[in-house]
Amino acid sequence: MGKKFYYLLLILFLIAAPLVVTGQYPQHIMVMCGIWVIASLALNLILGYTGQLNLAHGTFFGIGAYATALLVQKLGFSFWLALPLGCAITAFMGFLTGLPTLRTKGHYFPITTMCLGIAIYYVIARWDDFTGGARGLFGLPRPDPIPLPFGGSISFETTLACYYLVLFFVFLTYGAISRLVKSLAGRRLVAVRGNEDLAQSVGINTMQSKILSFTISTFFAGLAGGLFSAYMGTLMAEQAHYLLSFEMLIYVMIGGIGTMAGPVIGGVFLPILGEILQPLAGFRLILFGLLLILIIQFLPFGIVGGLRMARMRRAQKRGAS
Protein backbone atom coordinates (compact mmCIF):
# COMPACT_ATOMS: atom_id res chain seq x y z
CA MET A 1 0.00 0.00 0.00
CA GLY A 2 2.83 2.38 0.97
CA LYS A 3 4.53 1.88 -2.36
CA LYS A 4 1.37 2.62 -4.35
CA PHE A 5 0.90 5.81 -2.39
CA TYR A 6 4.39 7.05 -3.28
CA TYR A 7 3.83 6.20 -6.94
CA LEU A 8 0.62 8.22 -6.93
CA LEU A 9 2.38 11.13 -5.24
CA LEU A 10 5.13 11.03 -7.88
CA ILE A 11 2.62 10.98 -10.74
CA LEU A 12 0.74 13.95 -9.25
CA PHE A 13 4.04 15.77 -8.80
CA LEU A 14 5.01 15.19 -12.44
CA ILE A 15 1.61 16.45 -13.62
CA ALA A 16 1.75 19.52 -11.37
CA ALA A 17 5.45 20.31 -11.97
CA PRO A 18 5.05 22.64 -14.99
CA LEU A 19 2.48 24.68 -13.08
CA VAL A 20 5.24 25.60 -10.65
CA VAL A 21 8.15 25.67 -13.08
CA THR A 22 6.72 28.09 -15.62
CA GLY A 23 9.76 29.33 -17.53
CA GLN A 24 10.10 28.41 -21.19
CA TYR A 25 13.65 27.15 -20.80
CA PRO A 26 13.12 24.92 -17.73
CA GLN A 27 10.03 23.45 -19.38
CA HIS A 28 12.06 22.71 -22.50
CA ILE A 29 14.56 20.83 -20.32
CA MET A 30 11.68 18.86 -18.77
CA VAL A 31 10.44 17.78 -22.20
CA MET A 32 13.93 16.68 -23.16
CA CYS A 33 14.29 14.73 -19.90
CA GLY A 34 11.06 12.88 -20.72
CA ILE A 35 12.42 11.92 -24.14
CA TRP A 36 15.70 10.68 -22.62
CA VAL A 37 13.78 8.71 -20.01
CA ILE A 38 11.84 6.87 -22.74
CA ALA A 39 15.05 6.11 -24.63
CA SER A 40 16.86 4.98 -21.46
CA LEU A 41 13.98 2.75 -20.37
CA ALA A 42 14.15 1.11 -23.78
CA LEU A 43 17.92 0.61 -23.61
CA ASN A 44 17.58 -0.88 -20.14
CA LEU A 45 15.28 -3.61 -21.48
CA ILE A 46 17.95 -5.09 -23.77
CA LEU A 47 20.96 -4.08 -21.66
CA GLY A 48 19.80 -4.36 -18.06
CA TYR A 49 17.20 -7.11 -18.31
CA THR A 50 18.46 -9.18 -21.23
CA GLY A 51 22.18 -8.58 -20.70
CA GLN A 52 23.04 -7.47 -24.26
CA LEU A 53 25.06 -4.26 -24.58
CA ASN A 54 23.57 -2.55 -27.63
CA LEU A 55 25.83 0.30 -28.74
CA ALA A 56 23.54 1.31 -31.60
CA HIS A 57 20.70 2.45 -29.37
CA GLY A 58 21.27 6.10 -30.24
CA THR A 59 21.17 5.13 -33.89
CA PHE A 60 17.73 3.55 -33.49
CA PHE A 61 16.64 6.75 -31.74
CA GLY A 62 17.82 8.57 -34.87
CA ILE A 63 16.09 6.12 -37.20
CA GLY A 64 12.82 6.68 -35.35
CA ALA A 65 13.28 10.45 -35.53
CA TYR A 66 14.05 10.45 -39.26
CA ALA A 67 11.37 7.89 -40.12
CA THR A 68 8.65 9.89 -38.36
CA ALA A 69 9.87 13.20 -39.78
CA LEU A 70 10.17 11.91 -43.34
CA LEU A 71 6.72 10.31 -43.22
CA VAL A 72 5.28 13.68 -42.20
CA GLN A 73 7.34 15.85 -44.52
CA LYS A 74 7.68 13.77 -47.69
CA LEU A 75 4.48 11.75 -47.63
CA GLY A 76 2.29 14.23 -45.80
CA PHE A 77 1.20 11.76 -43.14
CA SER A 78 -0.44 13.00 -39.96
CA PHE A 79 1.94 12.87 -36.99
CA TRP A 80 -0.43 10.47 -35.22
CA LEU A 81 -0.03 7.98 -38.04
CA ALA A 82 3.65 8.74 -38.66
CA LEU A 83 4.66 8.16 -35.03
CA PRO A 84 3.46 4.53 -34.71
CA LEU A 85 4.69 3.82 -38.25
CA GLY A 86 8.06 5.32 -37.35
CA CYS A 87 8.22 3.09 -34.27
CA ALA A 88 7.29 0.07 -36.38
CA ILE A 89 9.96 0.89 -38.97
CA THR A 90 12.57 1.27 -36.22
CA ALA A 91 11.49 -2.00 -34.61
CA PHE A 92 11.67 -3.76 -37.97
CA MET A 93 15.19 -2.41 -38.50
CA GLY A 94 16.00 -3.62 -34.98
CA PHE A 95 14.62 -7.05 -35.80
CA LEU A 96 16.68 -7.28 -39.02
CA THR A 97 19.81 -6.12 -37.21
CA GLY A 98 19.21 -8.51 -34.36
CA LEU A 99 18.98 -11.61 -36.56
CA PRO A 100 22.72 -11.73 -37.34
CA THR A 101 24.20 -9.65 -34.50
CA LEU A 102 22.48 -11.36 -31.58
CA ARG A 103 24.05 -14.65 -32.62
CA THR A 104 27.40 -13.28 -31.50
CA LYS A 105 28.60 -13.85 -27.96
CA GLY A 106 30.67 -11.84 -25.52
CA HIS A 107 32.20 -8.62 -26.79
CA TYR A 108 31.15 -9.14 -30.37
CA PHE A 109 27.61 -7.88 -29.94
CA PRO A 110 28.67 -4.44 -28.63
CA ILE A 111 31.37 -4.25 -31.31
CA THR A 112 29.06 -5.14 -34.22
CA THR A 113 26.29 -2.84 -33.03
CA MET A 114 28.74 0.03 -32.62
CA CYS A 115 30.05 -0.49 -36.17
CA LEU A 116 26.48 -0.55 -37.44
CA GLY A 117 25.75 2.68 -35.56
CA ILE A 118 28.71 4.42 -37.15
CA ALA A 119 27.78 3.15 -40.62
CA ILE A 120 24.15 4.31 -40.36
CA TYR A 121 25.24 7.69 -39.03
CA TYR A 122 27.31 8.28 -42.15
CA VAL A 123 24.49 7.13 -44.40
CA ILE A 124 22.17 9.68 -42.77
CA ALA A 125 24.80 12.42 -42.84
CA ARG A 126 25.64 11.93 -46.53
CA TRP A 127 22.34 11.01 -48.18
CA ASP A 128 21.48 14.59 -49.13
CA ASP A 129 18.38 13.87 -51.25
CA PHE A 130 16.66 11.73 -48.68
CA THR A 131 17.69 12.87 -45.21
CA GLY A 132 18.89 16.34 -46.03
CA GLY A 133 22.43 15.20 -45.31
CA ALA A 134 24.50 17.35 -43.00
CA ARG A 135 22.02 20.24 -43.26
CA GLY A 136 19.26 18.08 -41.88
CA LEU A 137 15.49 18.52 -42.06
CA PHE A 138 13.77 21.79 -41.24
CA GLY A 139 10.30 23.06 -40.51
CA LEU A 140 8.84 19.85 -39.17
CA PRO A 141 5.36 20.59 -37.84
CA ARG A 142 4.33 19.96 -34.26
CA PRO A 143 1.82 17.12 -33.76
CA ASP A 144 -1.62 17.94 -35.25
CA PRO A 145 -4.17 19.19 -32.72
CA ILE A 146 -6.44 16.52 -31.28
CA PRO A 147 -10.11 17.56 -31.67
CA LEU A 148 -12.18 17.15 -28.54
CA PRO A 149 -15.67 15.60 -28.73
CA PHE A 150 -17.30 18.63 -27.07
CA GLY A 151 -15.65 21.20 -29.30
CA GLY A 152 -12.26 22.82 -29.25
CA SER A 153 -9.01 20.88 -29.52
CA ILE A 154 -5.71 20.13 -27.82
CA SER A 155 -2.94 21.85 -29.68
CA PHE A 156 0.76 21.14 -29.20
CA GLU A 157 2.15 24.55 -30.07
CA THR A 158 3.28 25.34 -26.53
CA THR A 159 6.13 23.65 -24.67
CA LEU A 160 3.69 22.95 -21.85
CA ALA A 161 1.43 20.88 -24.13
CA CYS A 162 4.45 18.98 -25.44
CA TYR A 163 5.48 18.26 -21.86
CA TYR A 164 2.17 16.53 -21.21
CA LEU A 165 2.39 14.68 -24.51
CA VAL A 166 5.84 13.34 -23.66
CA LEU A 167 4.80 12.61 -20.07
CA PHE A 168 1.94 10.48 -21.41
CA PHE A 169 4.39 8.42 -23.45
CA VAL A 170 6.78 8.15 -20.48
CA PHE A 171 3.96 6.58 -18.46
CA LEU A 172 3.06 4.31 -21.38
CA THR A 173 6.66 3.13 -21.87
CA TYR A 174 7.28 2.67 -18.17
CA GLY A 175 4.03 0.75 -17.76
CA ALA A 176 4.67 -1.55 -20.72
CA ILE A 177 8.28 -2.36 -19.84
CA SER A 178 7.72 -2.80 -16.11
CA ARG A 179 4.78 -5.11 -16.75
CA LEU A 180 6.85 -7.09 -19.22
CA VAL A 181 9.92 -7.61 -17.04
CA LYS A 182 7.83 -8.64 -14.04
CA SER A 183 5.76 -11.13 -16.01
CA LEU A 184 6.39 -14.76 -16.93
CA ALA A 185 7.46 -13.79 -20.45
CA GLY A 186 9.88 -11.28 -18.97
CA ARG A 187 11.50 -14.02 -16.92
CA ARG A 188 12.72 -15.50 -20.18
CA LEU A 189 14.72 -12.33 -20.80
CA VAL A 190 16.10 -12.30 -17.27
CA ALA A 191 17.06 -15.97 -17.69
CA VAL A 192 19.04 -15.11 -20.83
CA ARG A 193 20.88 -12.40 -18.88
CA GLY A 194 21.58 -14.87 -16.07
CA ASN A 195 22.99 -17.79 -18.03
CA GLU A 196 22.22 -18.65 -21.65
CA ASP A 197 23.15 -22.33 -21.39
CA LEU A 198 21.06 -22.81 -18.27
CA ALA A 199 18.15 -20.98 -19.93
CA GLN A 200 18.41 -23.34 -22.92
CA SER A 201 18.50 -26.35 -20.62
CA VAL A 202 15.08 -25.45 -19.19
CA GLY A 203 13.58 -25.08 -22.65
CA ILE A 204 13.91 -21.35 -23.28
CA ASN A 205 14.59 -20.35 -26.88
CA THR A 206 17.31 -17.85 -26.03
CA MET A 207 17.79 -16.51 -29.55
CA GLN A 208 14.07 -15.78 -29.91
CA SER A 209 14.01 -14.11 -26.48
CA LYS A 210 16.92 -11.85 -27.37
CA ILE A 211 15.38 -10.87 -30.70
CA LEU A 212 12.03 -10.08 -29.08
CA SER A 213 13.69 -7.98 -26.40
CA PHE A 214 15.78 -6.16 -29.01
CA THR A 215 12.76 -5.49 -31.23
CA ILE A 216 10.72 -4.08 -28.34
CA SER A 217 13.70 -2.04 -27.14
CA THR A 218 14.23 -0.48 -30.57
CA PHE A 219 10.48 0.16 -30.90
CA PHE A 220 10.58 2.44 -27.85
CA ALA A 221 13.88 3.99 -28.97
CA GLY A 222 12.00 4.90 -32.16
CA LEU A 223 9.18 6.37 -30.07
CA ALA A 224 11.61 8.65 -28.24
CA GLY A 225 13.13 9.66 -31.58
CA GLY A 226 9.73 10.35 -33.19
CA LEU A 227 8.67 12.57 -30.29
CA PHE A 228 11.99 14.37 -30.46
CA SER A 229 11.63 15.19 -34.16
CA ALA A 230 8.12 16.63 -33.79
CA TYR A 231 9.03 18.61 -30.69
CA MET A 232 12.27 20.12 -32.01
CA GLY A 233 10.99 20.83 -35.51
CA THR A 234 14.45 20.29 -36.97
CA LEU A 235 16.58 17.17 -37.35
CA MET A 236 20.28 16.97 -37.94
CA ALA A 237 22.53 14.00 -38.50
CA GLU A 238 23.91 14.65 -35.00
CA GLN A 239 20.67 13.20 -33.63
CA ALA A 240 21.67 9.82 -35.01
CA HIS A 241 25.29 10.15 -33.93
CA TYR A 242 26.83 7.02 -32.50
CA LEU A 243 28.06 8.89 -29.43
CA LEU A 244 24.42 9.33 -28.44
CA SER A 245 24.36 5.63 -27.55
CA PHE A 246 27.06 6.21 -24.98
CA GLU A 247 25.15 9.10 -23.46
CA MET A 248 22.10 6.87 -22.96
CA LEU A 249 24.36 4.12 -21.66
CA ILE A 250 25.66 6.53 -19.01
CA TYR A 251 22.09 7.48 -18.01
CA VAL A 252 21.23 3.82 -17.48
CA MET A 253 24.47 2.91 -15.72
CA ILE A 254 24.42 5.83 -13.30
CA GLY A 255 20.70 5.53 -12.60
CA GLY A 256 20.81 1.80 -12.03
CA ILE A 257 21.16 -0.92 -14.62
CA GLY A 258 18.50 -3.65 -14.56
CA THR A 259 16.11 -1.63 -12.36
CA MET A 260 12.92 0.16 -13.41
CA ALA A 261 13.68 3.39 -11.53
CA GLY A 262 17.31 3.58 -12.71
CA PRO A 263 16.79 4.88 -16.28
CA VAL A 264 14.18 7.34 -14.98
CA ILE A 265 16.58 8.79 -12.42
CA GLY A 266 19.49 8.79 -14.88
CA GLY A 267 17.40 10.24 -17.71
CA VAL A 268 16.10 13.07 -15.53
CA PHE A 269 19.07 14.11 -13.39
CA LEU A 270 21.99 13.74 -15.77
CA PRO A 271 20.59 16.00 -18.52
CA ILE A 272 19.69 18.55 -15.82
CA LEU A 273 23.19 18.29 -14.39
CA GLY A 274 24.54 18.76 -17.90
CA GLU A 275 22.53 21.98 -18.28
CA ILE A 276 23.67 23.28 -14.89
CA LEU A 277 27.29 22.59 -15.79
CA GLN A 278 26.89 24.20 -19.24
CA PRO A 279 29.25 27.12 -18.33
CA LEU A 280 32.05 24.60 -17.84
CA ALA A 281 31.81 23.67 -21.54
CA GLY A 282 34.13 20.75 -22.37
CA PHE A 283 35.19 20.33 -18.77
CA ARG A 284 31.84 18.90 -17.81
CA LEU A 285 32.67 15.81 -19.84
CA ILE A 286 35.63 15.27 -17.52
CA LEU A 287 33.26 15.54 -14.57
CA PHE A 288 30.87 13.04 -16.16
CA GLY A 289 33.75 10.65 -16.78
CA LEU A 290 34.83 10.93 -13.17
CA LEU A 291 31.27 10.35 -11.99
CA LEU A 292 30.99 7.25 -14.18
CA ILE A 293 34.24 5.78 -12.85
CA LEU A 294 33.14 6.40 -9.26
CA ILE A 295 29.73 4.83 -9.86
CA ILE A 296 31.13 1.72 -11.55
CA GLN A 297 33.71 1.33 -8.80
CA PHE A 298 31.48 1.85 -5.79
CA LEU A 299 27.89 1.41 -7.01
CA PRO A 300 27.93 -1.20 -9.79
CA PHE A 301 24.14 -1.12 -9.89
CA GLY A 302 23.96 2.67 -9.95
CA ILE A 303 22.09 5.03 -7.68
CA VAL A 304 19.10 2.70 -7.35
CA GLY A 305 21.35 -0.26 -6.53
CA GLY A 306 23.12 1.84 -3.91
CA LEU A 307 19.84 2.87 -2.29
CA ARG A 308 18.72 -0.76 -2.18
CA MET A 309 21.97 -1.81 -0.50
CA ALA A 310 21.60 0.92 2.10
CA ARG A 311 18.04 -0.16 2.81
CA MET A 312 19.06 -3.80 3.17
CA ARG A 313 21.85 -2.86 5.58
CA ARG A 314 19.43 -0.81 7.65
CA ALA A 315 17.01 -3.73 7.76
CA GLN A 316 19.82 -6.07 8.82
CA LYS A 317 20.88 -3.71 11.60
CA ARG A 318 17.33 -3.48 12.83
CA GLY A 319 17.09 -7.26 12.71
CA ALA A 320 20.32 -7.65 14.67
CA SER A 321 19.49 -5.23 17.49
Partner 1 sequence: MSGVLLQAKGVSKDFGGLRAVRDLNFEIQRGEIFSIIGPNGSGKTTTFNLVTGFLPVTGGEISFKEDRITGLKPFQICRKGIARTFQLTTLFERNTVLENLVIGQRATRESSILSCILGSPGARQKEKEALGKAHELAEFIGLSRQKMIPPGALPQGAQKQLSIGLALASAPELLLLDEPVGGVNMEEIGALIDLITRIRKSGTTICLIEHKMSVVMNISDRVMVLSYGEKIAEGSPAEVSQNEKVIKSYLGERYAASRRQS
Residue 193 found at the interface with partner 1 (CB under 8 A): yes
Residue 23 found at the interface with partner 1 (CB under 8 A): no
Of residues 207 and 273, the one with the C-beta less far from partner 1: 207
CB of 192 to partner 1, least distance (A): 10
CB of 137 to partner 1, least distance (A): 32
Question: Which of positions 239-268 make contact with partner 1 (CB under 8 A)?
Answer: 258
Of residues 39 and 199, the one with the C-beta less far from partner 1: 199
Residue 158 found at the interface with partner 1 (CB under 8 A): no
Of residues 48 and 110, the one with the C-beta less far from partner 1: 48
- Cβ atoms of 225 and 63 within 8 Å: the answer is yes
SS3 52: coil
Integer distance in angstroms from the first to the last C-alpha of the chain?
A: 27
Q: Among 118, 176, 261, 299, which residue interacts with partner 1 (rule: CB under 8 A)?
A: 176
Identity of the amino acid at 2: G
Distance CA 34, CA 14 (A): 11
> Shortest CA distance to 121 belongs to which of 237, 284, 208, 213?
237
Residue 17 found at the interface with partner 1 (CB under 8 A): no
Residue 188 found at the interface with partner 1 (CB under 8 A): yes
Residue 190 found at the interface with partner 1 (CB under 8 A): yes
Distance CA 155, CA 175 (A): 25
Q: Among 76, 139, 149, 203, which residue interacts with partner 1 (rule: CB under 8 A)?
A: 203
Of residues 78 and 195, the one with the C-beta less far from partner 1: 195
Of residues 129 and 197, the one with the C-beta less far from partner 1: 197
Total site size for partner 1, rule CB under 8 A: 27
Residues contacting 31, CB < 8 A, separation 6+: 159, 162, 163, 166, 231
Q: Helices (DSSP H) in 233-280: which residue ranges?
A: 243-255, 261-276
Residue 184 found at the interface with partner 1 (CB under 8 A): yes
SS3 198: helix
Distance CA 258, CA 162 (A): 29
Q: Among 11, 198, 286, 315, which residue interacts with partner 1 (rule: CB under 8 A)?
A: 198
Residue 212 found at the interface with partner 1 (CB under 8 A): yes
Q: Among 19, 148, 202, 320, which residue interacts with partner 1 (rule: CB under 8 A)?
A: 202
Task: Find the part of the chain contacting partner 1 (CB under 8 A) among 7-15, 109-117, 201-209, 238-246.
Answer: 201-209
Distance CA 153, CA 144 (A): 10
Distance CA 263, CA 127 (A): 33
Residues contacting 166, CB < 8 A, separation 6+: 31, 34, 35, 38, 227, 231
The torsion region of residue 293 among left (phi > 0), alpha (psi -120 to 50) and beta comes to alpha
Of residues 18 and 186, the one with the C-beta less far from partner 1: 186
Binding site for partner 1 (CB under 8 A): 176, 179-180, 183-188, 190-191, 193-195, 197-206, 212, 216, 258
